[in-house]
Amino acid sequence: MNKSISSAIRDDFPVLSRKVHGDRPLVYLDNAATSQKPEAVIAAVAGYYRRTNSNVHRGMHALAEEATGEYEAARRAVGDFLGAPDPAGVIFTRGTTESINLVAQSWGGSVLRPGDEILISVMEHHSNIVPWQLVAQRTGAVVKAVPLTPEGDLDLEVMDRLLSERTKLVSITQVSNALGTVNPVDTILAKAKAAGAKVLIDGAQSAPHMPVDVKAMGCDFFVCSGHKMCGPTGIGALIAPAELLEAMPPFLGGGEMIDQVTIEGSTWADLPYKFEAGTPNIAGAVGWGAAIAYLNTLGMEAVERRVHELVEDAADRLSQEPGVTLTAHPQVRGGAVSFWLDDIHPHDVAQLVDQSGVAIRAGHVCCQPLMKHLGRPAINRASYSFYNTKADTTSLLEALRTTRKLFGY
């Protein structure tokens, strides 16, 4: 039975009841940066350190076995939640950024040849740009980017022209952290597969807010971060078919990822351990497992409906607000809505609305090529989670009005 998403859900998140700047109730609209954590996750992490703390996969004692059991249970939970075909193809990483670097260095470093192309888009987060540039420098491959329509969607016609037999990988975000655009992954996958390219889907902003089924989607690599999904920081995943991961060389070397080591050379552990060098973030995995259990009690269809309702309402009301210009009008909107307020610098806007307790983002939001496309150095962004309310948007609008008055509008 799903727990319903009413405003009572906020009681599950201790931080949401705190005040900032003295007596201002916190209005948290920076969920695209990181989500808040429910008590169940905080308790799981604390409980792990209180009862179980040990290293995994090595010890022959009770705690080591329990810690290993909890860590592996978290892997199965993440895999089931995201529709991974096989837990062996669920690699724990520090997050989306590390997952993309793993694919770029390991897969890209071994497969890409001079003149090969990696196709990204202009709306990508720096985490889905820079790792490809690094491997392109190493291999002689070339990074190209799909441009955007004036509304802030991918220009799929230009994408068709950019795809060719030279394209070895298409790496695109499912949901833009900056514009809120939900990209048509089915169409992207069909086009990329027709060109013979592999596909990486950046799920940092989709996995928190919508049902994801990696197997049904059919991508080669899916990456996401636990901390945007009510889990702890420092834990995330790369999901890929085991055969593909088997063929890839290790990313980081060290303990855990080996089978035999001699001074002359080494052999590698089986999946997923081949890609998990060193002591992993065990408490982070346990906490992420608890976050997934929590999200499952809500149901991701209900989460998606709720976030959609909140963000459509916010986009609607913001677009009618004097002085506000939305940065994009995408066909389908995810959890974020970004905007400018007159010609007031976004940093000033964020700082001033913060005085009313409203936390929003300002800056290039890790998307400098997108800022160049928009022709401004920075934006403001309000980003939602299922625990936000329409009253949060009302608070934002009031704080924006106060800001405009201060600037003499």
97 binds ligand PMP (CB under 6 A): yes
Both ends of the chain: CA-CA distance in Å? 50
- CB 128, min distance to ligand PMP, A: 6
209 binds ligand PMP (CB under 6 A): no
Binding flags for ligand PMP, 56-95, as an x/- string (CB under 6 A): ---------------------------------------x
Active-site residue, 366 included: yes
What crossing angle do the helices spanning 300-319 and 282-298 adopt, rounded to 10°? Answer: 80
Q: From the candidates 224, 230, 366, 367, which is the catalytic residue?
A: 366
385 binds ligand PMP (CB under 6 A): no
Q: Which helix (H) or strand (E) segment is 43 a member of?
A: helix 39-47
105 binds ligand PMP (CB under 6 A): no
Binding flags for ligand PMP, 346-375, as an x/- string (CB under 6 A): --------------------x---------
- Name which of 79 and 208 has its Cβ closer to ligand PMP: 208
In sequence order, which residues have a C-beta less than 8 Å from that of residue 299 and are 6 or more positions away? Answer: 2
Candidates 96, 105, 281, 327: give the one binding ligand PMP (CB under 6 A).
96
127 binds ligand PMP (CB under 6 A): yes
Q: Which stretch binds ligand PMP (CB under 6 A): 121-129, 321-329, 389-397, 398-406?
A: 121-129
Token representation of residue 371: 């800022």
d(CA 228, CA 225): 6
CB 32 within 8 A of CB 227: no
- CB 307, min distance to ligand PMP, A: 15
Q: In what order do the strands lie in the sheet with 361-363?
A: 324-326, 336-341, 379-383, 361-363
Per DSSP bridges, beta strands 117-121 and 142-146 are parallel
52 binds ligand PMP (CB under 6 A): no
- Name which of 235 and 303 has its Cβ closer to ligand PMP: 235
Q: Which helix (H) or strand (E) segment is 324 a member of?
A: strand 324-326
Count of alpha carbons within 13 angstroms of residue 179, beta-carbon side: 32
**AA identity, residue 230:** C
202 binds ligand PMP (CB under 6 A): yes
393 binds ligand PMP (CB under 6 A): no
Token representation of residue 29: 């609209």
225 binds ligand PMP (CB under 6 A): yes
- Name which of 272 and 334 has its Cβ closer to ligand PMP: 334
d(CA 233, CA 226): 7
- Which of 195, 247, 246, 239 lies closest to 218 in space, CA to CA? 239
380 binds ligand PMP (CB under 6 A): no
Return residues touching ligand PMP (CB under 6 A): 32, 95-97, 125, 127-128, 173, 177, 202, 204-205, 225, 366
Positions annotated as catalytic residues are 366
